[in-house]
Structure 1
Amino acid sequence: MKKLLFTVFVFLLCTQLHAQILTPVKWSYAFKKLGNNEVMILMKATIDEGWHVYSQTVKDGGPVKTTFTFPASKSYTVVGKTIEPKPITRNEKVFNMDVSFFENSVVFQQKIKLKTGQATVKGTLQYMTCNDRQCLPPEDVEFTVAVK
């Protein structure tokens, strides 16, 4: 009997170790030259079907909104706020409020003014993703874009 219980325990443990971590959002980064030593940093979220990422404009009391943070740098300055396209807005029962979000993909953009001809732009983004059955905990992602 002990051997049977031990075997079942090991099987359950191995099953848990092989469980997949959900990653319904993949991030990619690029830049576009604007001229006059300005560039647009592009932060693209590719979102699996059925999932969504929240806008930067979600009100308090709802899901965690997407935020971008750029630390101070000697090689560039951040110009204005991070911009986003028009989101989908609808009432989500779980939060009991209207929320704005993106499905499939979204590109956030941040203008940067270079102090030199090139720079390594670093930042951190925080986002939360949900589908119609569950929400995943907010995730912090560090990123780097080499601007040349």
Structure 2
Amino acid sequence: MNFKRTITSLFFLFVLSQAFPQHVISWKFSLQDKGNGEIELIADATIQQGWHMYDSKIPDNGPYPTSLNFDEIKGAEAVGDFNATGKQATVKYDPVFQMNIGTFDNSARFIQRIKVTDKGSFLITGDVRAQACDDKSCTPPLPNEFSFTSADLPKT
């Protein structure tokens, strides 16, 4: 009986794991010195061919926007908003949400400016969440975690 239950549970876990495509967006996080005690947290996204991800600025009742969440921030404070930088999002009408929505294909870069207030105690941890879709399905906005300490601060 236990063996049958275990096999059934494993089967359902496998089915659920196949329901959502894995690794559609890969993330790389880094810090860059901007002078005057400010740095940028850079979140570079590489998006799988055939998929797109959403901008950080999405109208209400739209898909899940790309977002940054801090779990812990010490010796620093966020300055401004988490935004895309570099190439502009492609804005087009989405019939599912019945609105114009900004999306990125292939790659995107997002930044968050940060004022360092104490280099010795500097610590930021958190995650970026983004929803990706193709013409058949969408991924849930799962967390992609980052963590930086004073040892990771750019040399100025």
**8 A Cα contact 1:29 1:145, kept in partner:** no
Large movers: runs of 4+ above 6 Å: none
Cα distance in structure 2, aligned partners of 1:90 and 1:71? 33
Give the helix-richer structure, 1 or 2. Answer: 2
Aligned-pair identity in percent equals 28
Deviations along 1:110-129, one digit per CA (max 9) or x if unpaired, are: 11111123523212222111
Q: SS at 2:148's partner residue?
A: strand
Count of residue pairs the alignment pairs up? 140
Q: Aligned-pair distance for 1:72?
A: 5.6
Of the three residues 93, 96, 115, the one matched with 1:94 is: 96
For structure 1, list consecutive stretches of 5 or more residues without a partner in the other structure.
Answer: 1-5
Q: What is residue 33 of structure 1 aligned with on the other side?
A: 33
Q: Aligned-pair distance for 1:49?
A: 0.7
**8 A Cα contact 1:126 1:138, kept in partner:** yes
Deviations along 1:43-87, one digit per CA (max 9) or x if unpaired, are: 111100111110111112221111112246331111111121321
**8 A Cα contact 1:92 1:98, kept in partner:** yes
Q: Normalising by structure 1, report the TM-score.
A: 0.80
RMSD of aligned Cα (Å): 2.7
Alignment of 1:1-148 (within 5 A): 13=11, 16=14, 21-71=21-71, 73-85=73-85, 86-117=88-119, 119-146=122-149, 147-148=152-153
Cα distance in structure 1, aligned partners of 2:141 and 2:77? 27
Greater Rg by CA: 1
For structure 2, list consecutive stretches of 5 or more residues without a partner in the other structure.
Answer: none
Choose 109-118 or 34-43, whichever is displaced more: 109-118
